[in-house]
Amino acid sequence: MHVDVIPDWVTLVIAISGWVMTALGLVSAAIQTYRVEKLEKRNREQLEMFIEDADYVSFEHEIIDEIARKLDDPMILRFLVASHQRGCDLYRSLVDFYLSSESKFTYEDLRRVCQTPMISYRWQEDFWLGRVAMRPENRSKEVPAERVLKENRNRRFRAIQQRDVDGGSLPDDRLDESTRQA
């Protein structure tokens, strides 16, 4: 029986090529991980921006009531109400999507989000709170009774009311930043 012996140099080349292939695989995996993390961060930032934009179009419900008193055309009013409702629905859908992409989201996380432009109105905080309370990590915890927002952060409705009291238009310094964006 004849057994061929593999020369040492061949064994050495195979071993080195195995180590090189392993190193290349690890480098490739690290690069892919970095790219995925960067992409996930960018997607999250865009989603937060979309929520902020939806927050802008889902303004105070009282503005609709105020405008309704001044409109004569029921078709325009219907369009305005439908547009406002779609803005609110868009906001809620984006919040649901945002929370679905989070592996864990606690009441403390919600407290931090309430400090950002993603939540401007108390109804939005209540919506977030309801969704966060249903998450597995929060089901056994007491829902915080105290809200972060003591009043709506965006003051467009108050600006409209004050304009009516003043009998004209408001100077820019009376409007908050989000109102001037339009």
What does the pLDDT look like over 27-81, one tens digit per residue?
A: 999 999 999 999 989 988 998 888 988 887 777 777 888 888 888 898 999 998 8
Question: Which residue ranges make up each domain of the chain?
Answer: 8-180
The type of residue at 7 is P
Compute the CA torsion angle 94, 99, 101, 106 (nearest 10 deg).
160
Residue 57, Cβ neighbours under 10 Å: how many?
Answer: 13
Q: Which pair of structure tokens corresponds to residue 132?
A: 């966060």
Q: Is the pLDDT of residue 141 over 50?
A: yes
| pLDDT higher at 13 or 60 | 13
pLDDT of residue 93: 94
* CA-wise closest residue to 98 among 132, 143, 64: 132
- The DSSP letter of residue 172 is G
Contacts of 152 (CB under 8 A, 6+ apart): 60, 120, 121, 122
For the record, the structure tokens of 156 come out as 């467009």
pTM, 2 dp = 0.69
Mean pLDDT within 156-171: 64
In this prediction, residue 171 has a pLDDT band, given cuts at 50, 70 and 90, of very low
Looking at per-residue pLDDT, the higher value among 76 and 172 belongs to 76
Residue 9 clears pLDDT 90, i.e. is over it: no
